Amino acid sequence: METIEVNLGKRSYSIYIHQGFLTDPSTLNSETWSRYFHKKRLLIVSNDTIAPLYIEQVKAFFKPASSIDSVILPDGEQYKTLEYLNHIFDKLLQENYGRDCVLIALGGGVVGDMTGFAAACYQRGIDFIQVPTTLLSQVDSSVGGKTAVNHVLGKNMLGAFHQPKAVFIDTEFLKSLPVREFNAGMAEVIKYGIIWDIEFFEWLEQNIEPLKQLEPAALIYAISRCCEIKADVVAQDETERGCRALLNLGHTFGHAIEAEMGYRNWLHGEAVAAGMVLAAETSQHLGWVSFETVQRISRLISAFELPLVKPKSMSANAFIKHMQRDKKVLDQKIRLVLPTQIGEAVVTSQVSHQQLIDVLS
């Protein structure tokens, strides 16, 4: 079992990474059980795709709790709204849950974000635990305390920073993940290599097939390295005032795609993949990276059957409209995360609207 610490003082927590948590609870010692679950009242939040597959196993895993119940949401980014967030609050209030209860997020990024936001709001803040079931959520959204729901005018515009008490990552979940969903998660994995660690990027180039074949050693290394990087970044900048913004490589373009497409058809990771290529092309347009660097990034993204271009129906002006609502905008200036070489990136507001239009056209 790999254990990674997110060091945030009183809000510090552990990320546990293992193959087979659900079938082998003995991997956790009694102190861990007591700290998180003993005599706690738990509410599992999941969706109608994951719950039939795993919720009974998860209930058995958390059996030291005093009681365990669940609320099941519909599956899909289009349901990541205030309307469906209220389903969690309805359950909490109808069943008289107190401030000592714990929410368990069992699902991908949508479930994790909504559960975390509900935990941040309910009675001004209760504990929650992440049990991410997709690659994307295991390497990115379950770590760092970003919680939110979408608004029709922008992704993740309504939310709060609220750190989980722990993250339990079981690579066994990935065996039931559709190939398209796994590939979408690889976009976030590749992101870490581009912004932070060229050696990890090179390792990914050399381990495409082991990752596609879900080889346990490759999966655990990739997930662990991503979590190590994110834990380091979050410890330095919990509320995204500085270096944490680098984790948004490709996201400003990607969120624009998702919003324009109505949070349908394109998966988050697919939009981020196209967004990372657009970010690299913007860097090339500014003379910051070479054509060869853009091609190298594109080849690795393409190896996981991810899109390299924006939707044909989406105009440059549509991008600009959505990007002006991005959370990184300061003084009405769009700020982008752009690579300066593989393994390094910067946040910049030096890209003019005309330069963006040139790239997007």
Q: List, as one string, the DSSP characters of 156-184.
A: EEEEEE---SEEEEEGGGGGGS-HHHHHH
How far is it, in rounded angstroms, from Cα 239 to Cα 196? Answer: 19
| Architecture category of domain 179-360 in CATH | Up-down Bundle (1.20)
Strand partners, 346: 338
Q: Give residue for tokens 């994790």.
A: 112
Start-end of CATH 1.20.1090.10 domains in the chain = 179-360
| Furthest CA-CA distance within the chain | 60
Tokens of 244: 């944490």
Question: Which pLDDT does position 80 carry in this prediction?
Answer: 96
Q: pLDDT for 215-272, tens place per residue?
A: 999 999 999 999 999 999 999 999 988 899 999 999 999 999 999 998 888 999 999 9
Instruction: Give pairs for 326-329: CB < 8 Å, separation 24+.
Output: 326/154, 326/252, 326/255, 326/256, 327/156, 327/157, 328/245, 328/248, 328/252
The CATH 3.40.50.1970 portion of the chain extends over 2-176
| Phi and psi angles of residue 75, each rounded to the nearest 5 degrees, phi first | -90, 125
Domain 2-176 coded CATH 3.40.50.1970: yes
Q: Over 70: is that where the pLDDT of 64 sits? A: no
What is the chain's Cα-based Rg? 20
User: pTM, whole model, 2 decimals?
Assistant: 0.93
- Min mean pLDDT across 31-35, 109-113, 339-343 is at 31-35
Dump pLDDT digits (tens) for 240-255.
888 999 999 999 999 9
User: Which residues are part of the catalytic machinery?
Assistant: 124, 146, 188, 230, 240, 244, 248, 251, 255, 268
Q: CA 232, CA 221: separation in Å to the nearest integer?
A: 16
From residue 319, alpha-carbon distances to 1, 152, 225, 248, 359 in Å are 43, 15, 32, 16, 11
* Residue-level pLDDT at 28: 65
